[in-house]
Amino acid sequence: MDQYRVYGNPIKQSRSPFIHQRFAEQTNQQLNYQSELVALDKFVDTVQAFAESGGKGANVTAPFKEQAMALCDQLSERAQLAGSVNTLSFVKGKILGDTTDGDGLVNDLIANNVKLAQQNVLLLGAGGAAKGVVPSLLEQDPKQLVIANRTLANAQTIVAQYPDKPLSACSFEQLSDAKFDVIINATSAGLNGKSLAIPEQLLDKHVSCYDMSYGPSLTPFLQLAHDRQVKKAIDGLGMLVGQAAVSFEIWRQVKPQPEQVLCQLRKEMQ
Ligand code: NDP
């Protein structure tokens, strides 16, 4: 049976085995997908050994996405731009790398009827996740995409990669007079229960809010969005399932339906 893995450290929290097994059932594919905890200095050896043993592909999660990129013989254009890889395919002795987070996010925004074309879009955060989704967001032709980050220099570094695009960087303080149609939280602030120090006027009833984080209860950012009665408040579980769907299609050349799996996963989490 074809073998797949997801590598990370930590990895216990990963929902990817559940998602990929559901996709396999849905599309009648015979495969085995498991999570594997990898020691911080053993990532390269682990992937190479798995590829040599006949493994077909692997997902990569924190903190190995940059190392995964360095390991690849060939990279997709979006992985080169994003500077990270979350999907490895082992084909004829070569390692091919791609990143599916951006398409997972955009597909979930589309599924939730959030329009991006010609809209003012704010991306909060400039870490790996933010950097990874910028190419896919720009492909949707927003009027402007602003990256706001606690450390301004990190946002400026991303912006410098796209000189001809409607993309700019700012600090949270510089947002005090701004208005946006869509706000995407790509910071990790919520993971430790912290709320974001953003001006509350950003969150009005015309704005759609998306938090890449998710959990059994509302994230601090989505709680704030709800309290401010925004138009839409969506968590990142759909992005998680969406990025897995794109990886699955890369490996198996068949498109799974994420909606049903997202419902199952949401039930499981509650
Ligand atoms: P990184 O560690 O690479 O980046 C963290 C980002 O959050 C940085 O921009 C950092 O700012 C900012 N940040 C951290 N704490 C605070 C705070 N208290 N106030 C303001 N900003 C803060 O993490 P990732 O980019 O890999 O992940 C970000 C989030 O996205 C995580 O919650 C992760 O779970 C989620 N994610 C979800 C996915 C999904 O499929 N739904 C996929 C990938 C990620 P600074 O630069 O100043 O340090």
Which residues of the chain fall below pLDDT 70? none
User: Residue 107 is which amino acid?
Assistant: N
pTM of the model: 0.95
Contacts of 261 (CB under 8 A, 6+ apart): 19, 22, 23, 26, 241
Among protein residues, the one with the nearest Cα to ligand 1's atom 44 is 129
pLDDT score at 194: 75
* DSSP secondary structure letters along 82-127: HT--SEEEEETTEEEEE--HHHHHHHHHHHTT---TT-EEEEE--S
Q: Which atom of ligand 1 is nearest to the CA of 242?
A: 40
User: Residue 246 is which amino acid?
Assistant: V
Chain-centroid distance, C-alpha 232: 19
Is 46's C-beta closer than 6 angstroms to any atom of ligand 1? Answer: no
Distance between Cα 186 and ligand 1 center (Å):
5
Is 194's C-beta closer than 6 angstroms to any atom of ligand 1? Answer: yes
User: Residue 183 is which amino acid?
Assistant: I
Distance between Cα 155 and ligand 1 center (Å):
12
Q: How far apart are CA 259 and CA 228, in angstroms?
A: 28
Q: Can you say whether residue 185 is alpha, beta or left, with left for phi > 0 and alpha for psi between -120 and 50 degrees?
A: beta
Among protein residues, the one with the nearest Cα to ligand 1's atom 22 is 189
Among protein residues, the one with the nearest Cα to ligand 1's atom 36 is 212
Among protein residues, the one with the nearest Cα to ligand 1's atom 16 is 189
Q: How far apart are CA 159 and CA 169, in angstroms?
A: 6
pLDDT score at 231: 96
- Looking at the annotation, which residues are catalytic? 65
Distance between Cα 35 and ligand 1 center (Å):
22
pLDDT in tens, 215-235: 888 999 999 999 999 999 999
pLDDT score at 95: 98
Is 122's C-beta closer than 6 angstroms to any atom of ligand 1? Answer: no
